[in-house]
Chain A
């Protein structure tokens, strides 16, 4: 790790910090994600193990953050693992915040939202086509290059392969605000739809500059969703009432998406409604989303 000069801390997670650093010889900027291996009982944290192995497969896509290498360092009896990533300016959370605060407060340009969403769908489609669920899509986990207008999917620590038969699927995926209703209702065999739901929430958040469903408990989260999209029924979502955590909820009527998101054009509203479709098997896929008319105005040759 003597190869790099640490410049500043840019993030902090469960197992360690993320630093901006510079290669002393080439001057290349990198992000170093440090993982402490002191938690003996656990060995290599599962999030680290998955992040490395999933990224070493997915990193070829320019819509997924590039993992440049991994180093195991032993210093003064302490064991550390460093993940070396390409460096990007900022993440989508910080980026959207910069449009929210101060005298310069203004909506994100709709062209930019279109382009970011397109790149996000590309990244997610790439993960899904390799049999990987991301399961933690949220603005903090999307990296942004401001000048080039590039967005990349990052933080695959909660990712998992879904094409091999397995018994346990955890419910502790995704920060509450981006968690799909089937997961909140206790479904155990969720699939790619959980990521699409998160993408829909992120889409709306770019438009609104604030989270779409900001619940502070699982129940509150469900109620936020139901109040906005209407309480799901067996007709709209076959099987919903047999999910583990289904109860008789208050009956709300759906609100109009276009009224709730006046800044979004009708194609955008249509795409969003397809991402926030209740029934997971009817939810649009990332690949289908790429062909949605919402992106017609976008110069796709640049991607």
Chain B
């Protein structure tokens, strides 16, 4: 069942999509509350600040993700992969946190990246920008920021895929799911930022 729900052409939104958005919603709410409580909030690191909107977008996270789901028409697996990318991004940038100003942009960029890496057929950035309600220029910059932020680590092993898929599918059945430990939502110190994007691959 798990396998087929990932490749089906069905238009109904699979339950794990709702789990995904409720997880994000909770993390964002939590961080919003923290940043209000914490008067000494540090500015976000340069690379990550690109994801912040000036004002909180009106569309809720579940509606936004559902919208992406309907229009992207990609393999369902791509959403699991997008979830993995967000976790990776956070792990690589421990001081960055998801809040209601940046969660939408992160989400559309993560899904776009997953789809481009995984699927052979997909819509281009111009289309995704329309779906995501942001300008094409902005999405193009976010794409570069996200890829460098992930250090281009896009590959997902079957074991990692399975474990995240099962988190998303299992949490659907729990009334009050806990936040997965890797979705980092605590404030920390600012990481050293650099405006020049460069990746050295250390083997």
Q: Which of A's residues lie within 8 Å of B, judged by CB?
A: 37, 40-44, 46, 49-50, 52-54, 56-57, 59-60, 66-72, 130-132, 160-161, 163-170
A165 to B75, CA, bound (A): 8
Contact yes or no, B154 A168, CB < 8 A? no
Q: Count residues of chain B with CB under 8 A from any CB of chain A.
A: 41
By the criterion CB–CB under 8 Å, are A164 and B81 in contact?
yes
B:1-30 near A, CB below 8 Å: 3, 6-7, 9
- Whole-angstrom distance between the alpha carbons of A132 and B9 in the complex? 24
With A40-B126, A70-B198, A71-B197 given, is the CB distance from A161 to B152 under 8 Å?
no
Contact B147 A44 (CB under 8 A): yes
Q: Which residues of A contact B161 (CB under 8 A)?
A: 163-164
User: CA–CA, A68 to B144, complex, Å?
Assistant: 18
Q: Are B203 and A60 in contact (CB under 8 A)?
A: yes
Q: Which among A44, A54, A69 is the interface contact of B199 at CB below 8 angstroms? A: A69
Bound Cα distance from A288 to B124, whole angstroms: 40
With the chains together, A177 CA to B153 CA distance in Å?
32
Question: Closest residue of chain A to B146, judged by CB?
Answer: A44
Query: Which residues of B sit under 8 angstroms from A60, Cβ to Cβ?
Result: 203
Is there an interface contact between B158 and A167, defined as CB atoms closer than 8 Å?
no
Q: A40-B140, A165-B7 are in contact. Are A56 and B156 (CB under 8 A)?
A: no
Query: Which residues of chain B have a CB within 8 Å of any CB of chain A?
Result: 3, 6-7, 9, 75, 77, 81, 112-113, 116-121, 124-126, 136-137, 139-140, 143-144, 147-148, 151-158, 161, 197-201, 203
The 8 A-B pairs with the shortest beta carbon distances in the complex, nearest first, are A43-B125, A53-B154, A170-B120, A41-B126, A72-B197, A165-B6, A166-B75, A163-B158
B156 contacts A53, C-beta separation under 8 Å: no
Contact between A49 and B126, CB atoms less than 8 A apart: no
CA distance A1 to B77 in the complex (A): 37
| A164-B156 contact given A40-B140, A49-B117, A70-B198, CB 8 Å threshold | yes
Are B201 and A56 in contact (CB-based, < 8 A)?
yes
Assess A50 versus B117: contact at CB under 8 Å? Given A42-B125, A163-B157: yes
Residue contact A56 to B153, C-beta cutoff 8 Å: yes
- In the bound complex, how far is the Cα of B113 from the Cα of A35, in angstroms? 18
